[in-house]
Amino acid sequence: MKTCMQTALFTAFLAILFTWGCQTAYYAAWEKLGKEKRHLLKDEVKDARTEQEKASKEFKDVLTRVKEIYGFQGGNLEKVYDKLKDDYEACEERADNVRERIQAVEDISADLFKEWDKEIREITNEKFKSKSRESLRETKGRYVRLHAAMSKATKQMDPVLKNLRDYVLYLKHNLNAQAVGALKQEMGSIEGEVESLIRDINESVREAEEFLKNFK
């Protein structure tokens, strides 16, 4: 138990170093533990993938809750609203986690590629240098596809969350059947936006899996 706690505290300390921009100290500390930038990048991509998988599930949950309200036939509307509010807040928090993970992926990948390119120039054996350049080029290509998918999904979150927030706030101020009836007109738009976001998130997850499968 003590060892696990010490590991967690050390990892938290390293995260603070990275957040504060002390990348040199951050990388040096991990290198002492046997982790190079490529290992850290793989870890961050895995974490980003996990956060996106959770986000996909939570957006599905909030869409299900919206559909329940559209089909409301009587009962405790406030209770249904409270569940929708909880689901929305879970999506909002998860979206923040996704953004943080993707930012970490961007930062570490930039540092890794910079280091990789610098070290290639230090290789004197032309055969090794050529192979290393090719490996870097292929890795960058896969990363570009991954980054594009992650960015697309992340950008989609903002307008979806904004519309869901409008929906939640409107319902908060108008907890009655008439308000629910008026909101039914928005069902197609909200449903389409959330489903499109879920598809983009799932595509980003697939790109993360592809990147991890080929990144040694």
The residues spanned by each domain of the chain are 1-35, 37-214
Which residues, other chains included, contact 168 with Cβ-Cβ below 8 Å and sequence gap of 6+? 81, 84, 85, 88
Residue 123 three-state SS: coil
Q: CA–CA separation, 117 vs 140, rounded Å?
A: 11
User: Looking up tokens 């540092």, which residue turns up?
Assistant: 111
Closest by CA position to 58, among listed 91, 100, 96, 101: 91
Q: Please give the distance of CA 199 from its chain centroid, rounded to a whole number.
A: 14
The CA-atom distances, in angstroms, between 159 and each of 58, 84, 120, 166, 199 are: 16, 18, 42, 11, 15
Closest by CA position to 197, among listed 47, 50, 52: 52
User: Looking up tokens 């007109």, which residue turns up?
Assistant: 185
What is the 8-class DSSP label of residue 74? S
Helices (H), the chain: 2-19, 23-32, 37-70, 77-122, 126-173, 177-183, 187-214
Q: CA–CA separation, 86 vs 124, rounded Å?
A: 59
- Region for residue 207 given its phi and psi (left: phi exceeds 0; alpha: psi -120 to 50; beta: otherwise): alpha
Q: What's the confidence (pLDDT) of residue 134?
A: 96
pLDDT in tens, the chain (216 residues): 545 544 444 554 455 555 545 677 788 888 888 889 999 999 999 999 999 999 999 999 998 888 877 766 666 778 878 888 999 999 999 999 999 999 999 999 999 999 999 999 999 999 999 999 999 999 999 999 999 999 999 999 999 999 999 888 888 887 776 667 767 776 778 888 999 999 999 999 999 999 999 987
Contact 142, 210 (CB under 8 A): yes
Q: The tokens of 203 are what?
A: 């595509």
What is the 8-class DSSP label of residue 110? H
Q: CA–CA separation, 29 vs 113, rounded Å?
A: 19
Q: Cα–Cα–Cα angle for 157, 195, 144, nearest 5°?
A: 55
Q: Please give the distance of CA 89 from its chain centroid, rounded to a whole number.
A: 16
To the nearest 10°, report the CA torsion of 145, 45, 35, 93: 140
Q: What's the confidence (pLDDT) of residue 2?
A: 47
